[in-house]
């Protein structure tokens, strides 16, 4: 039994705490907020992420509170040309995604952690993790306090983790997000987007219901350069709404529900992959190891897979250094591939370029309907390339069935 500190209450940190607590380790969760809460708007749980949740007994409630997603769809403006049409049905079996608000996913994981009485120390802003005697680690906090020693520190503090070295530089583009009541007339089983080149993008994602129930919700998002955020706020909502309506007139009823700029949250995106996600007594997972743009929608799913892989590696009973090396090996190929693809795909959807969006609209779109490309694209979106569940104890067909 190890004494383990998990830093951060995001999806990866909470899932890691559940896995490791159930494996018999002594767990303490540390969270910088006085009351743990989620950050961000919405995401799509992919089949691999659902398989991880299934192993924790949480896939059924996630599916129940979220919205089943059957495809990703997009048109170019003003031509109306279909340039994205990726369907989970092109994969073998009954694959699908689940659109879900981060607060709903957080609630499922956090309630499970609370139900198992895993200790959580809140209001603890971590600034460093220092080596201690015997290969252990301490945690140092902003107020000067120190906790430890721990046999292992799990860094799930996200992109800006102080334990992961110098923070990454934000990408040029981010996005404004709002959570709105669902509007009938849109595809309730699709992530639907409209593009003008790669400079403008608007999208709607069904996300089911918020914690506690209520009406169905949609995540509404608009691509925006980080450098333009201050100007967007200064100009007010009217000119921006005109711009959005010109790109996709049908979204007008949703725009009418946005009456204050504070309804929109700006998400900044970064791209970074640590060369080594493990150090003596310290392991990074999720965005602390591999942060990227959300074009492939894999962030939370990758964090859940990291948590499951760490549990599987420690379950071997090997020494901590050997187990951490195994963890890195279990996740290395999948992480490298998806970081590379996200880096390559982002300029097609968020950039100032003209050539790549032209290729997207006139070549990628038509090719995406020629076999076997539809199945390949569906596998990419689903996070199913290079067998992400390989090496995990629940990675067989029976887990995939439970995730359904």
pLDDT digits (tens, 9 = 90+) for 360-379: 888 877 888 889 999 999 99
Q: What is the pLDDT of residue 295?
A: 79
Eight-class DSSP state of 393? T
**248 torsion bin: left (phi>0), alpha (psi -120 to 50), beta (else):** beta
The better pLDDT of the pair 39, 75 is held by 75
Q: How far is CA 373 from the centre of its chain?
A: 25
Tell me: pLDDT of 51 over 70.
yes
Q: What 3-state DSSP class applies to 10?
A: coil
> Using an 8 Å Cβ cutoff, are 208 and 104 in contact?
yes
Peptide bond before 372: cis, by omega within 30 degrees of 0? Answer: yes
| Band (400; pLDDT cuts 50, 70, 90) | very low
Cα–Cα distance for residue pair 173/175, rounded to 1 Å: 7
**Per-residue pLDDT reduced to its tens digit, 135-193:** 999 999 999 999 999 999 999 999 999 999 888 889 999 999 999 999 999 999 999 99
Q: What 3-state DSSP class applies to 315?
A: coil
Tell me: pLDDT of 403 over 50.
no
> Is the entire prediction scored with pTM above 0.85?
yes
> Using an 8 Å Cβ cutoff, are 241 and 251 in contact?
no
* Placement of tokens 């009973």 in the chain: 317
Cα–Cα distance for residue pair 368/375, rounded to 1 Å: 9
| Band (397; pLDDT cuts 50, 70, 90) | very low
| Band (294; pLDDT cuts 50, 70, 90) | confident
Cα–Cα distance for residue pair 142/120, rounded to 1 Å: 17
Give the architecture (CATH level 2) of 3-168+270-403.
3-Layer(bba) Sandwich (3.50)
| Band (281; pLDDT cuts 50, 70, 90) | very high
* Averaged pLDDT score across all residues of the chain: 93
Q: What is the pLDDT of residue 395?
A: 72
Tell me: pLDDT of 404 over 80.
no
Other beta carbons within 10 angstroms of residue 229's beta carbon come to 15
Cα–Cα distance for residue pair 73/342, rounded to 1 Å: 18
- The first and second tokens of residue 358, run together, are 């032209």
Tell me: pLDDT of 332 over 50.
yes
Cα–Cα distance for residue pair 343/255, rounded to 1 Å: 31
Eight-class DSSP state of 261? G
Longest dimension (CA), the chain: 65
Among residues of the chain, what percentage have pLDDT more than 70?
A: 98
φ and ψ of 115, to 5 deg: -65, -25
């Amino acid at each position: 039994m190890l004494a383990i500190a998990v830093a951060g209450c995001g999806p990866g940190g909470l899932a890691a705490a559940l896995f490791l607590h159930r494996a018999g380790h002594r767990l303490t969760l540390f969270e910088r907020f006085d009351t743990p809460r989620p950050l961000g708007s919405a995401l799509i749980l992919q089949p691999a992420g659902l398989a991880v949740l299934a192993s924790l007994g949480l896939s059924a409630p996630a599916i129940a509170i979220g919205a089943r997603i059957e495809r990703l769809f997009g048109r170019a403006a003003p031509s109306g040309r279909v340039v994205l049409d990726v369907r989970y049905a092109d994969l073998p079996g009954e694959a699908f995604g689940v659109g879900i608000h981060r607060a709903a996913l957080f609630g499922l994981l956090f309630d499970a952690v609370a139900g198992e009485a895993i200790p959580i120390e809140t209001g603890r802003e971590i600034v460093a993790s220092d080596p201690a005697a015997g290969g252990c680690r301490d945690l140092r906090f902003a107020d000067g306090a120190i906790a430890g020693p721990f046999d292992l520190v799990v860094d799930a503090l996200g992109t800006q983790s102080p334990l992961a070295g110098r923070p990454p530089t934000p990408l040029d583009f981010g996005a404004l997000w709002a959570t709105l009541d669902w509007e009938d007339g849109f595809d309730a089983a699709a992530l639907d987007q409209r593009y003008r080149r790669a400079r403008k993008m608007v999208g709607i994602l069904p996300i089911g219901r918020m914690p506690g129930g209520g009406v169905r919700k949609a995540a509404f998002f608009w691509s925006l350069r980080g450098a333009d955020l201050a100007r967007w706020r200064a100009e007010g909502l009217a000119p921006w709404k005109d711009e959005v309506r010109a790109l996709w007139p049908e979204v007008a009823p949703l725009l009418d529900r946005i009456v204050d700029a504070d309804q929109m949250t700006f998400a900044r995106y970064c791209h970074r992959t640590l060369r080594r996600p493990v150090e003596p007594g310290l392991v990074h997972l999720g965005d602390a190891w591999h942060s990227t743009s959300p074009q492939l929608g894999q962030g939370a799913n990758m964090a859940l897979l990291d948590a499951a892989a760490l549990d599987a590696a420690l379950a071997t009973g090997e020494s901590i250094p050997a187990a951490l090396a195994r963890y890195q090996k279990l996740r290395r190929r999948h992480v490298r591939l998806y970081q590379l693809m996200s880096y390559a795909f982002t300029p097609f959807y968020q950039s100032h370029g003209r050539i790549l969006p032209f290729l997207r609209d006139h070549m990628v779109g038509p090719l995406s309907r020629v076999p076997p490309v539809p199945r390949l694209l569906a596998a990419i979106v689903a996070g199913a390339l290079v067998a992400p569940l390989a090496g995990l104890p629940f990675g067989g067909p029976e887990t995939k069935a439970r995730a359904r």
